């Protein structure tokens, strides 16, 4: 997949960034957000700018285009595109560079297209600006562009509005708009973050093909090591507004040098570190107002010494085209550096060895426990109403016959792409949504359809942790009030010292007791998620429904939350219904997995079974579409990559027969007619596919 | 007793509001978080300046809300035990203070600071030889510049001298006040006076004393000039019946405050409760509330208000025995207008809040509360209401100015406040004719406009400051 690394110092670089600094004005001063950023991108090369949220990577990309928001200031440096200094250009000249010289693709395809203009108009706009095509010629060109980004029936799509397109298709249209000006450099800012893995794989393939075809340079901005591994020729790692490491992709993944990069790798969850604590990075990214004087990573770095705190490190070479901004690799310290690299490699090797030894948490336990939660044939249908009288004309079958069991103290992962109904299952279990049919048994007691008052005493036994820590905490309430809410609502009768309970909960999730009187906005994403977990734990539930609790968080923070969840399960014996689309998290945390597609479970079993030997074609495709952050590991997995054509159909009109058959490579006539029944492959394993009988 | 206090209904509401305000202030001073938020308002220079201006307006309004009936002079030769008679005219404390302005009524229009009327009149002048000569000229005013006597040429110099003297006195007083404030601050922190002075003016104090003092400076300077000139001249001129416009403008302040505040008091609970309930519960409750406000909205606003006001007017006219004085009647009519405006104008805010509640109810913190089985009312009050407050505050301030203007429109149509009651609306309504005459009479409208503008602007700025201070994300 990854082409051999090119020479880092290629003479004909397309984009040259030298010492770029930028900041944001506010409160009467300018806070530097990015300083001394230097890199170059050659034609036909993909340079990945990797970093966690807030490190300044998106601001840098906007600065290249000179599109910084009003408060943004370019403080110095040089940006050259094909030898032209962009920062000195007049605004009018800059307009021909944007789109013509370099074009940009944004993260959210849903909001980067104008909803009231047709696709054709939006492509035509760029064509009119950068070429002298008009009328029929422009239309033909637009059609060609759409065909080039793999959109079927481009002539018809030209006349359609963005709302008529799916997410993946919108991103394709975005790419075709970016290509319309025939740019030399494509800046892709998290181009697949908002997309599902199977769609992400399609878009990444497309970008790779287009780049090879047009010899474009590509600046890929991402936080996802997997995407970097799949796409990049060279990688630059940013931390707190500085580039800290730059290397060819192969060298980067073989031996990351900077302590920050190493920590990032160590924080990735995977099967090899199952049941173990993930390594986390202590502390937080420093704020713009309080940048450390020396190395910016020093306060969080396990290897830091005095020099790191006082003196900002310069670049040191660490191999072919590989440079690091770290004192450890400075002159006279080669020995230490070697030891560190060795340690790094050692650690990852140890981890994989340990992974084999580690007791697989799920396999050893006897299955004789009565299940804590048993869901049988759960259905949640939303009526579609039309017309003046709001007559029901159909149903969105969000959840259509799901059966699951979950034992106390275990984790069941519910995996699937967006829109498959996994969150709806979680909410229906909690009775936040009324199930249309089926039963939900909590400890053998039916809770589906219970009245609100009958449900109340049961609410303390199960709680939910939501996906977005920024939306799940009321911004107007203090943390203490948020956590105490459940106590007040459910345990009002029991006399207890609320303040003491809240303090204990905060300690349990690893937060300072001083947090009680602060507001949620004063906390980072990870800390907010801890608060949300503390809120759920306040009523001492036995079952915690975690709805993608880490998907809005950075890798290093995700590791902290996963560790916390693991510890809580070990100490409190919690059962987790873990809803996610991230297989790495599943591998790390879950005992059992259920894969959902269009409201139904297509395969379920223990983690080892499902992830090691997926049986259902959908599971196989999903697994192979996940970009692996370690290229070597990806090779091990077999190398055969299954690309799913098309996108998930609407649950309002699921295909006849097996829901998956339009995208399945093995579909037969039977698949088109009849939905397959459950087949038990082993005591724990169930698949719904006609291939197994 | 030389006076008989009179409590009008609107006085009752105003003092109730004041009491509630004082109570809320006392309560929030004891809540550390609320106190901190108010502290942030105090730190905001614009907010403090606006609050100072508003306080000046409020002071005028409150002085105008203490009503009494003065005792009539006893008949000559009456025995001391005879029943004391009180005037049927209800005066306020402000009227008492402004007695010179109130009583020195000219014949008709006169320009600001003029000594002669605005229109020529036929006059008979006795010549030296004793014959009467008819001549057409601007008649001399009875009170404007009366002290000058025949020496009218001296008027500009006299005006400038009075204004300067008053201004000087004002500035001296203001400087003394500044020194007092900075001295006390300096003593409190334990620094020399000079340092305290420097800190105040460099904005290094927690409370924005510099903004307060600057705003006070402007108010004191204007007030001094008005006081210095007001005794001798008509600073803002006189209107058609010769009444001093300055007096009218000051009397209008109370009417505007009553219309703005009491109407809000009626609108707010309706709009907030119905809006949130509709958005949160949806279903048939939503349908019902939507039906209600769509119906209300589909009737032209002025028509609806006109119908209600006319009905009320009939009720008032057929029951003259309800009212002891004309002032009571006018007051009740004002209050009724507030209620009618309130009952018809809640729909806009309610619809806004319903939309926002629809959005908020899907947020995860609301679902988390539902997962705890928190009661709906509690979710409404703890999770939805605080997160809607910014909309409420903005809408309120917008409405305040809108209501003051609505009063003008309704008075224009003839269904606003009682014709005997002075308000910005009646002033603007009169100005319609005045602008049409030749030469145009511009001062009534200008005075009303300037006062209304300052009042509404100050309210807007203060509301901005309050909203920012209470938003935890901005803190």
With contact defined as beta carbons under 8 Å apart, do A211 and A184 qualify?
A: no
ipTM of the complex: 0.79
Distance CA A554, CA A562 (A): 12
Share of chain A above pLDDT 90, in %: 24
Structure tokens at A482: 């948020």
* Torsion sign across C-alpha atoms A475, A476, A479, A485: negative
Contacts of B373 in chain A (CB under 8 A): 452, 455-456, 459, 489-490
CA distance B376 to chain A (A): 11
A336 to each of A3, A314, A603, B436, how far by Cα in Å? 32, 17, 49, 93
Residue with token string 């075709």: A176
| A405 and A426 in a common domain | yes
Domain end: A310, A325, A356, which one?
A: A356
pLDDT at A348 over 60: no
In this structure, how many other beta carbons lie within 10 angstroms of the beta carbon of residue B151? 11
CA distance A375 to chain B (A): 18
In a domain, A481, yes or no: no
Three-state DSSP state, A443? coil
CB-closest option in A427, A459, A472 to B365: A472
| A648 and A562 in a common domain | yes
Contacts of A485 in chain B (CB under 8 A): 368-369, 372, 374, 382
In a domain, A81, yes or no: yes
pLDDT for A482-519, tens place per residue?
999 888 887 766 666 888 889 989 988 888 888 888 88
Q: How far apart are the first and last CA of chain A?
A: 36
With contact defined as beta carbons under 8 Å apart, do A261 and A244 qualify?
A: yes
| A339 and A247 in a common domain | no
Q: Which residue of A has its CA nearest to B471?
A: A476
Does the N-terminal peptide bond of residue B271 adopt cis geometry, omega within 30 degrees of 0? no
Distance CA A219, CA A581 (A): 26
To the nearest 5 percent, what fractions of chain A are helix, strand and coil? 40, 25, 40
Tell me the angle at which helices B193-201 and B209-230 cross, rounded to the nearest 10 degrees: 90
φ, ψ of residue A80 to 5 degrees: the values are: -115, 125
Q: List domains and CATH numbers for chain B.
A: 3-72+85-103 (no CATH), 145-230 (no CATH), 245-470 (1.10.3720.10)
Contacts of A385 in chain B (CB under 8 A): none
Structure tokens at A347: 């650690």
The mean pLDDT value for B434-456 works out to 88
Structure tokens at A87: 């920062």
The mean pLDDT value for B192-204 works out to 84
Distance CA A82, CA B24 (A): 66
With contact defined as beta carbons under 8 Å apart, do A31 and A289 qualify?
A: yes
In a domain, A528, yes or no: no
Q: For B472, which DSSP code? A: T
| A304 and A173 in a common domain | no
| A328 and A378 in a common domain | no
pLDDT for A635-690, tens place per residue?
444 456 777 887 778 888 888 888 898 888 888 888 888 888 888 888 888 999 88
Across the interface, whether the CB atoms of A456 and B373 are under 8 A apart is answered yes
Structure tokens at B148: 């000058």
Contacts of B378 in chain A (CB under 8 A): 489
Across the interface, whether the CB atoms of A464 and B371 are under 8 A apart is answered yes
CB-closest option in A466, A474, A535 to B383: A474
Domain end: A190, A225, A254, which one?
A: A254
Across the interface, whether the CB atoms of A472 and B364 are under 8 A apart is answered yes
Query: Would you place residue B81 in the very low, low, confident or very high pLDDT band (cuts 50, 70, 90)?
Result: low
pLDDT for A516-535, tens place per residue?
888 888 888 888 999 999 99
Question: Facing residues of A219 across strands?
Answer: A47, A187
Q: Which residue of A has its CA nearest to B389?
A: A476
Predicted local confidence at residue A634, as pLDDT: 44
With contact defined as beta carbons under 8 Å apart, do B235 and B443 qualify?
A: no
Tell me the angle at which helices B245-281 and B443-470 cross, rounded to the nearest 10 degrees: 40
Contacts of B387 in chain A (CB under 8 A): 474-476
Here the CATH number for the domain that contains residue A206 is: 3.40.50.300
pLDDT for B16-73, tens place per residue?
989 998 998 898 888 777 788 888 888 889 999 999 999 999 999 999 999 998 888 7
Distance CA B264, CA B342 (A): 7
| A105 and A194 in a common domain | yes
Predicted local confidence at residue A428, as pLDDT: 92
In a domain, A180, yes or no: yes
Structure tokens at B421: 């009651």
Predicted local confidence at residue B80, as pLDDT: 63
Say which residues have a Cβ less than 8 Å from residue B196's Cβ, sequence separation at least 6.
B182, B183, B185, B186, B187, B189
Residue to test with chain A: of B37, B44, B281, B365, most A Cβ within 10 A? B365
Distance CA A425, CA B293 (A): 37
| Least confident window among A588-592, B303-307, B379-383, B398-402 | B398-402
| A382 and A332 in a common domain | no
A155 touches chain B (CB under 8 A): no
pLDDT at A357 over 70: no
With contact defined as beta carbons under 8 Å apart, do B181 and B209 qualify?
A: yes
Contacts of B367 in chain A (CB under 8 A): 427, 432, 464, 466
Distance CA B467, CA B353 (A): 17
Domain count within chain A: 3
In a domain, A361, yes or no: no
A538 burial via Cβ count (<10 Å: 0-12, 13-18, 19+) = buried
A475 touches chain B (CB under 8 A): yes
- How high does pLDDT run on average in chain A? 84
Q: Report the 3 state secondary structure along A626-682.
A: CCCCCHHHHHHCCCCCCCCCCCCCCCCCCCCCCCCHHHCCCCCHHHHHCCCCCEECC
Contacts of A539 in chain B (CB under 8 A): 372
Domain end: A232, A254, A276, which one?
A: A254
Q: Report the 3 state secondary structure along A483-511.
A: HHHHHHHHCCCCCCCHHHHHHHHHHHCCC
Structure tokens at A635: 């090779």
* Torsion sign across C-alpha atoms A435, A437, A440, A446: positive
- Domain hosting A240: range is 13-118+166-254
Q: How many helices (H) and strands (E) does chain A have?
A: 24, 24
A68 to each of A23, A40, A58, A71, how far by Cα in Å? 10, 20, 10, 8
| A396 and A352 in a common domain | no
CB-closest option in B368, B375, B472 to A475: B472
In a domain, A506, yes or no: no
A537 touches chain B (CB under 8 A): no
Q: Which residue of B has its CA nearest to A459?
A: B372
Contacts of B375 in chain A (CB under 8 A): 489
A464 touches chain B (CB under 8 A): yes
Q: How far apart are the first and last CA of chain B?
A: 54
| A429 and A305 in a common domain | no
Distance CA B279, CA B297 (A): 18
A569 to each of A369, A409, A486, how far by Cα in Å? 17, 6, 20
Give the burial string for A336-348 (b: 16+ CB within 10 Å, else e). Answer: ebeebbeebeeeb
pLDDT at A9 over 60: no
| A348 and A382 in a common domain | no
Find how far residue A358's CA is from the centre of its chain: 27
Give the burial string for A156-171 (b: 16+ CB within 10 Å, else e). Answer: ebbeeebeebbbbbbb
Query: Would you place residue A55 in the very low, low, confident or very high pLDDT band (cuts 50, 70, 90)?
Result: confident
In a domain, A477, yes or no: no
Three-state DSSP state, A114? coil
Left if phi > 0, otherwise alpha if psi is -120 to 50, otherwise beta: which for A611?
alpha
| A296 and A319 in a common domain | yes
CA distance A497 to chain B (A): 19
Find how far residue A371's CA is from the centre of its chain: 32
Helix extents (H) in A440-497: 452-459, 479-490
| A72 and A198 in a common domain | yes
In a domain, A365, yes or no: no
pLDDT at B475 over 60: no
pLDDT at A64 over 80: yes
């Amino acid at each position: 997949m990854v082409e051999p690394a090119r020479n880092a110092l290629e003479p004909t670089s397309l984009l040259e960034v030298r010492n770029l600094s930028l900041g944001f004005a506010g409160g009467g001063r300018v806070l530097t957000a990015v300083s001394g950023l230097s890199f170059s991108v050659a034609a036909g090369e993909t340079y990945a700018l990797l970093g966690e949220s807030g490190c300044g990577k998106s601001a840098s990309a906007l600065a290249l285009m000179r599109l910084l928001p009003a408060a943004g200031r370019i403080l110095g440096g040089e940006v050259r595109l094909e030898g032209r200094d962009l920062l000195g250009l007049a605004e009018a000249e800059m307009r021909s560079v944007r789109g013509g010289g370099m074009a940009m693709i944004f993260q959210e395809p849903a909001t980067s297209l104008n909803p009231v203009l047709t696709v054709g108009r939006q492509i035509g706009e760029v064509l009119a600006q950068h070429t002298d095509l008009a009328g029929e010629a422009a239309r033909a060109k637009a059609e060609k562009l759409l065909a080039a980004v793999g959109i079927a029936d481009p002539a018809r799509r030209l006349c359609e509005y963005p709302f008529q397109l799916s997410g993946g298709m919108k991103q394709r249209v975005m790419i075709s708009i970016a290509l319309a000006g025939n740019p030399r450099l494509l800046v892709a800012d998290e181009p697949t973050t908002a997309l599902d893995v199977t769609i992400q794989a399609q878009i990444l393939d497309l970008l790779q093909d287009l780049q090879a075809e047009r010899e474009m340079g590509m600046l890929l901005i991402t936080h996802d090591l997997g995407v970097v591994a799949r796409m990049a020729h060279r990688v630059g790692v940013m931390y707190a507004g500085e580039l800290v490491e730059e290397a060819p992709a192969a060298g980067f993944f073989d031996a990351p040098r900077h302590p920050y990069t190493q920590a990032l790798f160590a924080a990735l969850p995977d099967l090899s570190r199952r049941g173990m604590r993930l390594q986390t990075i202590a502390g937080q990214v420093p704020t713009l107002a309080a940048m450390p004087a020396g190395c910016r990573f020093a306060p969080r770095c396990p290897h830091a010494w005095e020099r790191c705190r006082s003196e900002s490190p310069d670049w040191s070479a660490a191999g072919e085209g590989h440079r690091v901004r770290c004192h450890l690799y400075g002159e006279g310290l080669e020995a230490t550096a070697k030891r560190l690299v060795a340690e790094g490699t050692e650690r990852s090797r140890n981890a994989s060895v340990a992974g084999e030894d580690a007791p697989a948490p799920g396999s050893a336990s006897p299955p004789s426990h009565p299940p804590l939660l048993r869901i049988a044939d759960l259905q949640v249908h939303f009526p579609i109403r039309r017309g003046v009288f709001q007559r029901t004309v159909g149903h969105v079958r969000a959840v259509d016959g799901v059966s699951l069991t979950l034992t106390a103290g275990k984790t069941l992962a519910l995996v699937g792409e967006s829109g498959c109904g996994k969150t709806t299952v979680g909410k229906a279990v909690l009775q936040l949504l009324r199930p249309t049919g089926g039963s939900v048994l909590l400890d053998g007691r039916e809770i589906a359809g219970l009245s609100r008052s009958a449900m109340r005493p049961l609410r303390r036994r199960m709680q939910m942790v939501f996906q977005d820590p920024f939306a799940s905490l009321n911004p107007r309430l203090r943390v203490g009030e948020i956590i105490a809410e459940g106590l007040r609502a459910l345990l009002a009768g029991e006399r207890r010292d609320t303040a003491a309970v809240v303090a204990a909960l905060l300690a349990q999730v690893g937060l300072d007791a001083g947090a009680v009187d602060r507001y949620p906005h004063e906390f980072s994403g990870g800390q907010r998620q801890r608060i949300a977990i503390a809120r759920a734990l306040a009523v001492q539930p036995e079952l915690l429904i975690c709805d993608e609790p880490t998907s809005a968080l950075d890798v290093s923070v995700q590791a902290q939350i996963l560790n916390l969840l693991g510890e809580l399960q070990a100490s409190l014996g919690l059962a987790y219904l873990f809803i996610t689309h991230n297989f790495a998290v599943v591998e790390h945390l879950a005992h059992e997995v259920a894969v959902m597609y269009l409201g139904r479970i297509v395969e379920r079993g223990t983690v080892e079974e499902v992830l090691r030997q997926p049986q259902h074609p959908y599971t196989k495709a999903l697994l192979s579409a996940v970009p692996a952050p370690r290229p070597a590991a990806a090779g091990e997995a077999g190398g055969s990559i299954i690309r799913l054509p098309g996108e998930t159909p609407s649950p309002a009109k699921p295909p006849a027969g097996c829901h998956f058959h339009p995208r399945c490579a093995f579909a037969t006539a039977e698949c088109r007619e009849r939905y397959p029944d459950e087949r038990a492959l082993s005591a724990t394993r169930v698949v719904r596919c006609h291939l197994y009988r | 007793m030389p006076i008989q206090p009179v409590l009008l209904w609107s006085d009752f509401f105003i003092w109730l509001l004041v009491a509630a305000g004082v109570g809320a202030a006392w309560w929030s001073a004891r809540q550390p978080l609320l106190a901190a938020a108010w502290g942030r308002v105090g730190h905001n220079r614009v907010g403090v300046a606006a609050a100072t201006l508003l306080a000046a307006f409020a002071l005028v309004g409150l002085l105008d809300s203490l009503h009494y009936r003065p005792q009539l002079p006893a008949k000559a030769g009456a025995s001391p035990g005879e029943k004391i008679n009180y005037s049927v005219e209800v005066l306020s404390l402000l009227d008492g203070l402004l007695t010179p302005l109130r009583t020195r009524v000219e014949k008709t229009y006169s320009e600001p600071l003029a000594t002669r009327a605005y229109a020529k009149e036929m006059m008979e002048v006795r010549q030296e030889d004793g014959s009467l000569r008819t001549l057409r000229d601007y008649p001399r005013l009875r009170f404007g510049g009366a002290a000058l006597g025949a020496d009218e040429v001296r008027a500009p110099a006299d005006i400038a001298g009075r204004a300067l003297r008053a201004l000087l006195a004002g500035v001296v007083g203001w400087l003394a006040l500044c020194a007092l404030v900075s001295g006390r601050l300096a003593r409190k922190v334990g620094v020399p006076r000079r340092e305290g002075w420097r800190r105040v003016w460099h904005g290094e104090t927690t409370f924005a004393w510099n903004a307060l003092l600057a705003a006070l400076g402007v108010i004191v300077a204007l007030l001094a000039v008005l006081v210095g000139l007001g005794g001798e001249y008509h600073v803002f001129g006189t209107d058609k019946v010769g009444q001093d416009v300055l007096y009218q403008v000051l009397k209008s302040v109370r009417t505007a405050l009553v219309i703005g505040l009491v109407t809000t008091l009626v609108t707010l609970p309706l709009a907030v409760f119905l809006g949130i309930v509709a958005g949160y519960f949806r279903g048939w409750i939503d349908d019902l509330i939507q039906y209600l406000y769509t119906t209300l909205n589909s009737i032209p606003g002025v028509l609806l208000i006109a119908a209600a006001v006319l009905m009320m007017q009939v009720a008032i006219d057929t029951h003259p025995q309800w009212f002891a004085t004309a002032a009571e009647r006018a007051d009740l009519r004002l209050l009724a207008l507030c209620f009618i405006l309130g009952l018809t104008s809640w729909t806009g805010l309610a619809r806004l809040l319903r939309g926002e509640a629809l959005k908020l109810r899907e947020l995860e913190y609301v679902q988390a509360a539902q997962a705890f089985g928190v009661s709906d009312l509690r979710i409404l009050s703890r999770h939805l209401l605080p997160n809607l407050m910014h909309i409420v505050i903005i809408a309120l301030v917008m409405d305040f100015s809108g209501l003051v203007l609505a009063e003008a429109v309704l008075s224009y149509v003839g269904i606003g406040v009682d014709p005997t009651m002075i308000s910005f609306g009646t002033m603007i309504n009169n100005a319609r004719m005045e602008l049409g005459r030749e030469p145009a009479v511009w001062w009534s409208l200008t005075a009303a406009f300037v006062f209304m503008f300052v009042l509404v602007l100050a309210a807007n700025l203060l509301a901005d400051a309050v909203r920012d201070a209470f938003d935890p994300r901005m803190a």
